[in-house]
Structure 1
């Protein structure tokens, strides 16, 4: 039995693989931009930041280790990772750490607001790119879909519950939540949907009845 779930449609693989990696790199860059904004992170990055401060590792390293740990939770759920799943674990943290190394901290409010806005917009585009490549869900998204399949609970309920849990734990560990956290929560859904429609290969889109 194959460990990885291989794509069924290989006709567009030559375009989808570059799209996947561009999306993952941009996602890591967007995480770095929101971190430098210092106006509040998305729930998972609040958790990553809190753990990073606790254990003394870079936040990118924590992103990688957390992704790997979440991927282990797929085993009892009988989820099979794809190429995109494994790449997600490896690429996001590296891209985030590189972005933080190249982008200095900002102290004035105006550039921080710009970094937050650009980071959220870029995150939406990156989500559309890597999910639209259809080469495997990220570890955290796959955990939600796996729990949904095993429990029958709604995806919305599972996503809300998981993100509130990691947000709370992250804040307790010293992670930064704020206006950026709220802005991300309100905007990422519409942005991801907008870009996903434009980044999914036409032959992979659901057909309208």
Structure 2
């Protein structure tokens, strides 16, 4: 393997591992804010309410079922990121939710709003990283990507559609829906696209994102 290919693979692995892990951290911020969870977590928590399992265990089982679906429909979406998401994300979320509650036991409204903004930002940035790394995505993310690749509908709108479906079903089973849920339901797709164009794609190509964006801005003004 050439040095260039080895460097590219290392970048992809780092972006995949950090991106998926950061997704679990982002959900922890959502949980602390108590303004509602992201759409997929709304669905997962709604279904979790029907069981007596720990959340980490339930999430792993639920992800495994979705994994089988993705394996049948589009196995190209399965990779390192998928495995980490299935077996570690639930536990990362569980730990970080506990850690934030321990660190800030009496969070007021302002702190909760800050946590919500941080959670949304981290979640979209993390997704942009592991989408671009192309080493497997979460089984939920694979649904919107599959739809966008097999229909004339753009990814942003496929993501909104899948998010709306998850929120409706999760809410029906008793999951909490709040401001954070509504924001992510309609803005996750566009924000992921933004972070891909401005950060993730330049990084995966070994370029400085700031330099690339400055050049792009100059070109567009000429």
2:84 corresponds to 1:87? yes
Larger radius of gyration: 2
Give the deviation of 1:186 after TM superposition: 3.8
Counting only pairs closer than 5 Å after superposition, residues 107-126 of structure 1 correspond to structure 2 as: 108-126=108-126
2:8 corresponds to 1:12? yes
Report the 3-state secondary structure (helix = DSSP H, G, I; strand = E; otherwise coil) of the residue aligned with 2:75: coil
2:44 corresponds to 1:48? yes
Change (3 A) 1:55 1:106: farther
Count of paired positions: 196
Question: Structure 1 or 2: larger helix share?
Answer: 2
Q: What is the alpha-carbon distance in structure 1 between the residues aligned to residue 61 and residue 108 of structure 2?
A: 32
Give the deviation of 1:203 after TM superposition: 7.0
Counting only pairs closer than 5 Å after superposition, residues 22-101 of structure 1 correspond to structure 2 as: 22-80=18-76, 81-101=78-98
Gaps of 5+ in 2: 208-215, 217-222
Contact 2:46 2:174 in 1 (8 A): yes
Q: What is the alpha-carbon distance in structure 2 between the residues aligned to residue 180 and residue 16 of structure 1?
A: 30
Give the deviation of 1:185 after TM superposition: 2.7
Counting only pairs closer than 5 Å after superposition, residues 120-139 of structure 1 correspond to structure 2 as: 120-139=120-139
Equivalent residue number for residue 200 of structure 2: 199
Equivalent residue number for residue 189 of structure 2: 189
Contact 1:74 1:146 in 2 (8 A): no
Runs of 4+ residues over 6 Å off in structure 1:
none
